[in-house]
Amino acid sequence: MRSSTATAATAGGLALALMLAACAPGTGTEESPSEQPQEISTDVAALGDITLTVWDQEVRGGQDEQMTQLNAAFEELYPNVTIDRVSSSFDDLETTLRGALTGDDAPDVVQANNTRGTMGAFVEAGLLLDLDDYADAYGWRDRYSESVLAVSSYGDGGATFGEGALYGLPQTGEIVGIFYSRAALAAAGIDEEALRSGTWSDFTAALATAQGSGATAIQLGNLDGWPAGHVFGPIQGQHVPADEIAALGMGNAGASWTTPENEAAAAELQQWVEAGYFNDGPNGTDYDAAWQSFSEGSAVFLIGGSWLAADLEAAMAEDVGFMAPPPAEAGGPVATTGGTGLPFAITAQSPNAAAAAAYIDFITSDDAMQMLADTGNMPVNRTAELAPAEGVNAEIFEAFGTVSESGSLLPYLDWATPTMGDTLGAGLQDLIGGQATPTEFLEGLEADYSAFTQGG
Amino acid sequence: MIVSRAERAANYAVLVLFAAFALAPIVVALGTALTPSTTSPGGLEVFRQAWTEGEFSRYMLTSATVAAVVVTVAVLASILAGYAFGTMRVRGSGWLFPLFLLGLMVPAEAIVVPLFYDLRTLGLTNTLWAVALPQIAQSIAFGTYWMRAYFRAAPRPVMEAAVLDGAGSWRTLWSILVPIGRPAVVTLVLLVFMWTWNEFLIPLVMSPNGTFRTAPLALALFKGQHVQATGLLAAAAVLVALPVVVVYLFLQRHFIRGMVEGAVRE
Amino acid sequence: MRRGQRRWLPYAYLGPALLLFGGFLLYPLARSVQYSLYSWDGLGASTFVGLDNYVALVQEEQLRDAFGHALVLIGFFAVLPLAIGLLLAAVLNRGRVRGLGLFRTVVFLPQVIAMVVVAVAWRQIYAPEGTLNTVLRAVGLEQLTRSWLGDYTWTLPAVGMVGTWVQTGLVTVLLLAGMARLPREQYEAARLDGAGAVREFFSLTLPSIRAEIAVALTLTIVAALKTFDLVYVTTGGGPGTSTTVPAYEVFQRAFREGAVGSATAIAVTLTVLIFAINLVVNRYVDRVEP
């Protein structure tokens, strides 16, 4: 039998070689996804009965609530449209989107991460609809600030990021900053007011104080790799000029990871680990488990995104506070990671582009911004006027206002290249786990970044 | 057999120790599910909540549909092919049958990438067929091998008597051989059911938009959303494992025989 | 069978199986080989690159590591269960203890539970505040507690232990079946000769179950090499890339990073590796058991 296995393999191989037409991978999928550019129409009621499939990742409490309410309101306004909503976690959406978008029955509206790996790759492959005409029809360029639209824009069919045609609209603003527990601050003997009005070195001193008092200074759940990016971002903002971070984060040529400034940032993060500021084994702790235990009083600080506010407030009520990473000098400019929530985009194949555009218009309208604020989210537009009077969201809105007006909102670093999410995630785990020196960590990032900027 | 009392006691100790090792994680999962916490109601209520929140009624139905299709098609095709290989002179069986054996070893990872892209071109992803057909092919590899072994061992006199009675090959198969071979067929049905129910990679890849999301996949996604609610997550895990475990507890001889003999023969 | 059997008849019976098996297993396998010669992002057009993807396989550290991790997993999926299984089966076979049926049912149970379920359960056990650390603290082994899924030294063994848990039952049951075939009288004779348990095991039991050992090794080694669900659910290849395995790289590259050619090159290599191991193990059995 054994020798006949070889015969079988040979015979089978030959037969199959014949069957494999001259068909190279990817040749069957090149017909342009939508045959005719569809007419730009804003009259949804006239479109007849439509089912609009929408994929989002708004699964956490307040996010889910606003989405549910807005969808219901849209269906009420246009009874001829039914929304088929598919929501999954951020990671799961990232996993499934690439496959789904290229299929025949792609969803109509998807929340596609701004990154080159996601939105950029889709634009390059002609899978997303250029929204410029709808932007004119609905007046989106007046509704949004230019900088917000820029991070959802790609030019030259995906080659440049940050300019060119518009491919999506975000609902929310995001800012990465420092959550803290007031009770834990008091227990560690840290004065909240002094901390809020202080400088970055006051903050790092507070970390040492917290650690010295026997508490866990910072809670971090980095099992997935990317969460530590939100800790590294603000640290990097202290050391590296904002325009360099922007180039690195958007994968545009002309910057470098292997600079003394970046080295200082990476070294500071590693020092935090060595000083014992983090909980035991951040690399083995789940992201959601981390903020959950922070809300139960396990640590003094949690460095993370404003999207956690609704859930943290629900669990901690007035105990939770938020501040932007403090400036290097008192009163100086503030820089931190942030920007917009994931933009909603329309697939190129969607036969319901007009309805999809109306939907995106609806969920980003001024009324929708109100709804977002009411459900504990930070709307990307009208942020200042919708700021709540008190609570953690008041502090978040204020921080976002300060940073976006007088400071710098830095891009998420994984936006840079298609593989940067994985490179950065694994690199940060290595850095935190003591497996890589700051230099090695940065060399890994530089290799990814320069391969992309030179190759593209 | 004479074994000292001390040795006997030691034997039982080893037995109990390893049974405990095998059961511990299952007990822990059950315990986690049943214990109430801030994020989970505990008791039996937790299963109801996991069932509704994870929409498991929908995904279990998908799993059941996929399993039914795979089992039916794969077992039928395997019986027919095993019958041909086991009782007839097939020209070319010298390389044809080993080809099926080769298929036994091919991991899903090796076929799933082109399957996905080729079926996508044909517009077949996100259909029942995209999820079922690759699993049917994998099951046929084992099924043909398994049924051939049965047919080769089937009593010759019975088959010869059937031929004398004027029964054609078709009738001999269905009215004589399959009925006596019921245990072998049942074993095959159970194994294919288990493999299909437990499969993860193929449904993960072949139905990206979630139309044919099977229960194990739903569990993995449920984990993404409820990782902090350990009780709820453990309950969902128990629910997904339950159908196969229940069948196993009742028909364990078939499972063990199938996996042991299926592997040892030849 | 009837002598004048029609020639096409067997092929009519084989038809459905051949069609399905060929179309959805052999053909995609061949397509994998073809894909692996191209550079393709899964979205646009592809370029022929010859063996570049295979060269990268050897050059890229992360991929070499992935195969290295698979080797470590073989230790946990195959070698360790075999050692435990041999010990267990020998003890049980010699002792003729009661309750063997129940024991068999229990230790075999992990085999029938979906790997995703297993992974979810173990992930909770390994969590920082999970069962394992709680138990260690309770028995005063505080210093052994660690972040099991976030530790560069311990995560791969921790994932491997799950494999040991799953495979030990299968191996034990296989070996027990093999030992049960051995006639009682041989043991009686050996004992009359004054052979102790250890000599009895090495001179009598072990040689008679070579075939079962080979099968157990084949099944478990292949399972180790194919590991995907377990890594996907527990660690996602982390921390860093310390637990990534070939099957996980296939998925990541093909469906998340858009490196389809590289993904299929890994898949093909993995398949060849599995074939080779089967061949070696079977050769070995053929030689000792004429």
Q: How confident is the model at residue C156 (pLDDT cuts 50, 70, 90)?
A: very high
Mean local confidence (pLDDT), C271-290:
77
Taking CB atoms and an 8 Å limit, are A102 and C44 in contact across chains?
Answer: no
Mean local confidence (pLDDT), A236-259:
92
Q: How confident is the model at residue C261 (pLDDT cuts 50, 70, 90)?
A: very high
Distances (CA, A) of B239 to B25, B33, B193, B231: 15, 11, 16, 12
Mean local confidence (pLDDT), A207-214:
94
Q: Which helix (H) or strand (E) holds C124?
A: helix C115-126
Alpha carbon distance, N-terminus to C-terminus of chain C: 30
For A44-128+130-166+342-374, CATH number? 3.40.190.10
Q: Which residues of A touch C40 (CB under 8 A)?
A: 25-26
Separation CA C215–CA C238 (nearest Å):
32
pLDDT at A9 over 70: no
Instruction: State whether residue A298 sits within 8 Å of chain B by CB.
Output: no
| Domain locations along chain C | 49-288
**pLDDT at residue C289, rounded to an integer:** 46
pLDDT at A257 over 80: yes
Mean local confidence (pLDDT), A241-246:
92
In chain A, positions 390-449, which contact chain B (CB-CB < 8 Å)?
Answer: none
* ipTM exceeding 0.90, yes/no: yes
Q: Tell whether omega for the bond before A438 is within 30 degrees of 0, i.e. cis.
A: no
**pLDDT at residue A22, rounded to an integer:** 46
**pLDDT at residue B264, rounded to an integer:** 60
**pLDDT at residue A33, rounded to an integer:** 44
Instruction: State whether residue A98 sits within 8 Å of chain C by CB.
Output: yes
The beta-carbon neighbor of C267 closest among B77, B113, B163 is B113
pLDDT at A14 over 80: no
pLDDT at C2 over 60: no
Q: How confident is the model at residue A346 (pLDDT cuts 50, 70, 90)?
A: very high
Taking CB atoms and an 8 Å limit, are A102 and C241 in contact across chains?
Answer: no
3-state secondary structure of C131: helix
pLDDT at C4 over 90: no
User: What is the C-alpha radius of gyration for chain C, rounded to an integer number of angstroms?
Assistant: 23
pLDDT tens profile B65-91:
999 999 999 999 999 999 999 998 888
Residue with tokens 């953690």: A392
Length of chain C: 290
Q: Please state, rounded to an integer, the average pLDDT across all residues of chain B.
A: 89
The domain covering A174-339+398-455 belongs, at the CATH homologous superfamily level, to: Periplasmic binding protein-like II (3.40.190.10)
**pLDDT at residue A23, rounded to an integer:** 67
pLDDT at A137 over 50: yes
Higher-scoring residue by pLDDT: A424, C208:
A424
Mean local confidence (pLDDT), C254-259:
86
Q: How confident is the model at residue C272 (pLDDT cuts 50, 70, 90)?
A: very high
Interface size, chain B vs chain C, as Cβ–Cβ contacts under 8 Å: 291
pLDDT tens profile C24-76:
999 999 999 999 999 998 877 889 999 999 999 889 888 999 999 999 999 99
The beta-carbon neighbor of A283 closest among C150, C252, C282 is C150
| Domain locations along chain B | 60-229+237-264
Q: Are A207 and A277 in contact (CB under 8 A)?
A: yes
CATH class for the region spanning B60-229+237-264: mainly alpha
The total of other beta-carbon atoms located within 10 Å of residue A295's CB is 22
| Range scoring the smallest mean pLDDT among B43-47, B115-119, B219-223, C272-276 | B219-223
pLDDT tens profile A75-106:
999 999 999 998 877 777 877 787 778 766 78
Length of chain B: 266
Q: How confident is the model at residue A34 (pLDDT cuts 50, 70, 90)?
A: very low
Q: Which residues of A touch C27 (CB under 8 A)?
A: 16, 19-20
Total-model pTM: 0.85
CA neighbor of A337 nearest in space, from A175, A454, A197:
A175
Which of the other chains make 3 or more beta carbon contacts under 8 angstroms with chain B? A, C
pLDDT at B123 over 90: no
- 3-state helix/strand/coil string of chain B: CCCCHHHHHHHHHHHHHHHHHHHHHHHHHHHHHHCCECCECCCCHHHHHHHHHCCHHHHHHHHHHHHHHHHHHHHHHHHHHHHHHHHCCCCCHHHHHHHHHHHHHCCHHHHHHHHHHHHHHCCCCCCHHHHHHHHHHHHHHHHHHHHHHHHHHCCHHHHHHHHHCCCCHHHHHHHHHHHHCHHHHHHHHHHHHHHHHHCCHHHHHHCCCCCCCCHHHHHHHHHHHHCCCHHHHHHHHHHHHHHHHHHHHHHHHHHHHHHHHHHHCC
pLDDT at C278 over 90: no
How many angstroms away from the CA of A187 is the closest CA of chain C?
A: 23
**pLDDT at residue C287, rounded to an integer:** 59
pLDDT tens profile B129-183:
999 999 999 999 999 999 999 999 888 888 888 888 888 889 999 988 999 999 9
pLDDT tens profile B133-142:
999 999 999 9
Q: How confident is the model at residue A5 (pLDDT cuts 50, 70, 90)?
A: low
Q: How confident is the model at residue A166 (pLDDT cuts 50, 70, 90)?
A: very high
The beta-carbon neighbor of B25 closest among C13, C165, C271 is C165
Q: Which helix (H) or strand (E) holds C48?
A: strand C47-48
| Range scoring the smallest mean pLDDT among A200-214, A301-315, A322-336, B218-232 | B218-232
| Range scoring the smallest mean pLDDT among A187-196, B99-108, B220-229 | B220-229
Kindly state the tokens that stand for C140.
């005063």
Contacts by A144-150 with C-beta closer than 8 Å and gap 24+? A144/A169, A144/A380, A144/A381, A145/A381, A147/A404, A147/A409, A148/A339, A148/A340, A148/A380
pLDDT tens profile C108-126:
999 999 999 999 999 999 9
The total of other beta-carbon atoms located within 10 Å of residue C71's CB is 11
Which of the other chains make 3 or more beta carbon contacts under 8 angstroms with chain A? B, C
Mean local confidence (pLDDT), A176-188:
95
Separation CA A431–CA A361 (nearest Å):
42
**pLDDT at residue A98, rounded to an integer:** 79
**pLDDT at residue B225, rounded to an integer:** 67
Mean local confidence (pLDDT), C211-226:
90
To test the contact with chain A by mutation, choose from B209, B214, B230, B233 the residue with the greatest count of A C-beta atoms within 10 A, namely B209
Q: Identify any residues that bridge with A338 across adjacent strands, giving them in sequence order.
A: A175
How many angstroms away from the CA of B225 is the closest CA of chain C?
A: 13
CATH architecture of C49-288: Orthogonal Bundle (1.10)
Q: How confident is the model at residue C290 (pLDDT cuts 50, 70, 90)?
A: very low
Higher-scoring residue by pLDDT: B122, A278:
A278
Rounded to the nearest 10 degrees, how much is the dihedral formed by the CA atoms of A247, A253, A259, A261? -10
Q: Are A418 and A245 in contact (CB under 8 A)?
A: no
Q: Are A379 and A341 in contact (CB under 8 A)?
A: no
Q: Which residues of A touch C242 (CB under 8 A)?
A: 435
Taking CB atoms and an 8 Å limit, are A426 and C129 in contact across chains?
Answer: no
Q: How confident is the model at residue A418 (pLDDT cuts 50, 70, 90)?
A: confident
**pLDDT at residue B226, rounded to an integer:** 67
| Domain locations along chain A | 44-128+130-166+342-374, 174-339+398-455
**pLDDT at residue A13, rounded to an integer:** 54
